[in-house]
């Protein structure tokens, strides 16, 4: 059984259908990169997996549990599936430690000492152990995004979703965030990323999904798709992203 099963999903915003009969399976341990032009439905699909958006038709299952059409246990789902956004969404008035431990303390009843140890552990994973007592405004954008990733890791998710997490960063800070994600991939975290970082898609991902006009247009091993795209749409997309 796949970790995530997406079957014939349709999603509209008013009259605009953004997902048109999308089906996709994600196995445990896969690093799936979703690429495509703006408006192709990539981020919407990601948000549907975490039940941040409802769908009009089809079904989504995570670990065999239905997300749609019948939603069982939203809180459990959010604990198992972490999501990191383009905006870091850190609380400015809380320290890095408090930002990271807020959810585990609330949902998993972690005590104070346990919370500190947890924050230290996940900050070490993202290379920021020394910033545990800092406030978000004292950090660069890249560091804030790494804290946002650490905050997700603190919930010990089985799946992590990344929605354009580097696109708001200055170019010189993108690398440090991608490196953290590469480390997580090496440690076996199942990940689905919507990204414009073609190097990551080519070198780190185990599966590439190209979305076009609300559909999964092509999917397969990155090396294969980059070398010989089957459709003119993917060919032109790759062509426009060759640096």
Q: Which residues contact 160 (CB under 8 A, 6 or more apart)?
A: 81, 82, 83, 84, 152, 153, 184, 189, 190, 191, 192
Residue 139: half-sphere exposure toward Cβ, Cα within 13 Å: 26
Task: Centre a 10 Å sphere on the Cβ of residue 37 and count the other Cβ atoms it contains.
Answer: 14
Contact 29, 43 (CB under 8 A): no
Q: In this structure, what token pair is assigned to residue 79?
A: 């604990």
**Number of residues that this document lists for the chain:** 243
Q: In this structure, are strands 31-35 and 207-212 parallel, antiparallel, or unpaired?
A: parallel
Q: pLDDT value at position 243?
A: 54
Neighbour-count burial for 95-124, b at 16+ CB within 10 Å, e otherwise = bbbbbbbebbbeeeebeeeebeebbeebbe
Q: Which residues contact 43 (CB under 8 A, 6 or more apart)?
A: 163, 164, 194
Q: pLDDT value at position 73?
A: 76
Residue (of 24, 10, 21, 31) closest to 161 by Cα position? 31
Average pLDDT, 10 consecutive residues per value, the chain (243 residues): 93 94 95 93 94 92 84 79 90 96 86 92 96 96 95 93 92 91 92 93 94 96 94 93 68
Domains of the chain: 4-240 (3.40.50.300)
Q: In this structure, what token pair is assigned to residue 126?
A: 């993202």
In degrees, to the nearest 5, what angle opens at C-alpha 222 toward C-alphas 155 and 207?
35
Task: Centre a 10 Å sphere on the Cβ of residue 38 and count the other Cβ atoms it contains.
Answer: 7
């Amino acid at each position: 059984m796949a970790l995530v099963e997406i079957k014939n999903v349709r999603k509209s915003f008013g009259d605009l259908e953004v997902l048109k009969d999308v089906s996709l399976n994600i196995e445990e341990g896969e690093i799936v990169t979703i690429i495509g032009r703006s408006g192709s439905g990539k981020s919407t699909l990601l948000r549907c997996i975490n039940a941040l958006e409802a769908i009009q038709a089809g079904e989504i299952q995570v670990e065999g549990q239905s997300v749609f059409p019948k939603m069982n246990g939203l809180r459990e789902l959010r604990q198992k599936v972490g999501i990191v956004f383009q905006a870091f969404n850190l609380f400015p008035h809380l320290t890095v430690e408090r930002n990271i431990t807020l959810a585990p303390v609330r949902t998993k009843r972690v005590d104070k000492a346990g919370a500190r140890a947890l924050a230290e552990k996940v900050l070490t994973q993202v290379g920021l152990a020394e910033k545990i007592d800092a406030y978000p405004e004292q950090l660069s954008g890249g560091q804030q995004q790494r804290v946002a990733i650490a905050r997700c890791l603190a919930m010990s998710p089985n799946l992590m979703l990344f929605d354009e997490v580097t696109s708001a960063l200055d170019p010189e800070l993108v690398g440090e965030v991608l490196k953290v994600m590469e480390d997580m991939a090496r440690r076996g975290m199942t990940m689905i990323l919507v990204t414009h970082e073609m190097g990551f898609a080519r070198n780190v991902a185990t599966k590439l999904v190209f979305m076009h006009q609300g559909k999964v247009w092509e999917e397969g091993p990155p090396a294969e798709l980059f070398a010989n795209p089957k459709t003119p749409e993917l060919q032109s997309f790759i062509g426009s992203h060759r640096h």
